[in-house]
């Protein structure tokens, strides 16, 4: 059954909102404070001759990854979740009953960072050195995962029933039909779960280049255009 114009427009707007998440102010400022922190650390600790940091122990790396995780958690709590400092301080002071070494704040923020401090440390501990070429590898997992979590929350709020998932699947077919140059994934006729459909939708959006803006909703009810085809050559 064809989608009505209202549903098409709603999914179109959802796609636009999802694509704009990386440009949200708190995300850009999160990248900024993490980059500032890692750059300052590198400048202070690097070997003046080799211009790199050779890790001497896991404890040295964990000290850095913990501080980065803390920076990200504090920033997201304050600027995304709008938590005041008294609440943050209270949660930091409250320990988990089954883990006295972990605060309730850390447990809570794991949801928004997608990893515990230990998980984050484990993703980076095998890097033998830190140098200008791999500097960003130490901060990208934090803000990229946060972006994915924000995207997932937004799309799950919009698509949380099988009926909505079916509508999104139909919309996904339209995206592929009208953007064959970019969207090259297999769209199933039926779906096994809501997560399967939302995952495919995110893949489709990620296949579109950053400079590309989806067509306006009303074009989806018309015959697909042929902008991706080569123009016909006029006879001489």
Q: CA 194, CA 149: separation in Å to the nearest integer? A: 16
pLDDT digits (tens, 9 = 90+) for 57-116: 999 999 999 999 999 999 999 999 999 999 999 999 999 998 888 999 999 999 999 999
pLDDT higher than threshold 90 for residue 175? no
Contact at 8 Å (CB) between 135 and 42?
yes
Check whether residue 74 and residue 126 sit in a common domain. Answer: yes
Q: How far is CA 180 from CA 2, 35, 44, in A?
A: 20, 37, 50
Considering the domain boundaries, does residue 173 fall inside one?
yes
pLDDT higher than threshold 50 for residue 235? no
Check whether residue 142 and residue 35 sit in a common domain. Answer: yes
Q: How many CA atoms lie within 13 A of 179 on its CB side?
A: 22
Give residue 135's domain range.
25-146
DSSP 8-state symbol, 72: H
pLDDT higher than threshold 90 for residue 178? no
pLDDT at site 181:
81
pLDDT at site 236:
40
Kindly state the average pLDDT of the residues 156-164: 94
Check whether residue 182 and residue 114 sit in a common domain. Answer: no
Kindly state the average pLDDT of the residues 28-45: 96
Considering the domain boundaries, does residue 222 fall inside one?
no
Instruction: Lowest mean pLDDT of 12-16, 84-88, 180-184, name the range.
Output: 180-184
- In the chain, DSSP assigns E strands to 53-54, 95-96, 99-103, 129-130
How many Å separate Cα 161 from the centre of its chain? 23
Kindly report the pTM of this predicted structure: 0.81
* Nearest Cα to Cα of residue 172 among 162, 160, 187, 150: 187
Question: 3-class SS at 101?
Answer: strand
């Amino acid at each position: 059954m064809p989608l009505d114009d209202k549903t098409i427009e709603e999914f179109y707007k959802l796609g636009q909102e999802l694509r704009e998440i990386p440009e949200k102010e708190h995300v850009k400022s999160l990248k900024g404070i993490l980059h500032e922190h890692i750059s300052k650390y590198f400048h202070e600790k690097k070997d003046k001759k080799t211009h790199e940091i050779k890790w001497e122990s896991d404890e040295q790396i964990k000290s850095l990854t913990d501080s980065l995780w803390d920076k990200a958690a504090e920033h997201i709590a304050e600027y995304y979740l709008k938590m005041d400092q008294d609440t943050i301080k209270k949660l930091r002071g409250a320990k988990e009953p089954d883990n006295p070494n972990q605060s309730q704040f850390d447990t809570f923020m794991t949801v928004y960072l997608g990893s515990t401090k230990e998980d984050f440390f484990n993703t980076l501990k095998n890097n033998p050195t830190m140098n200008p070429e791999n500097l960003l590898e130490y901060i990208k997992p934090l803000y990229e995962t946060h972006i994915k979590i924000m995207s997932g929350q937004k799309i799950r709020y919009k698509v949380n029933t099988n009926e909505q998932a079916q509508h999104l699947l139909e919309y996904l077919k339209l995206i592929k039909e009208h953007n064959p140059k970019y969207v090259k994934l297999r769209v199933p006729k039926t779906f096994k779960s809501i997560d399967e459909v939302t995952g495919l939708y995110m893949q489709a959006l990620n296949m579109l280049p950053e400079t590309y803006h989806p067509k306006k909703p009303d074009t989806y009810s018309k015959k697909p255009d042929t902008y991706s085809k080569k123009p016909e050559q006029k006879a001489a």
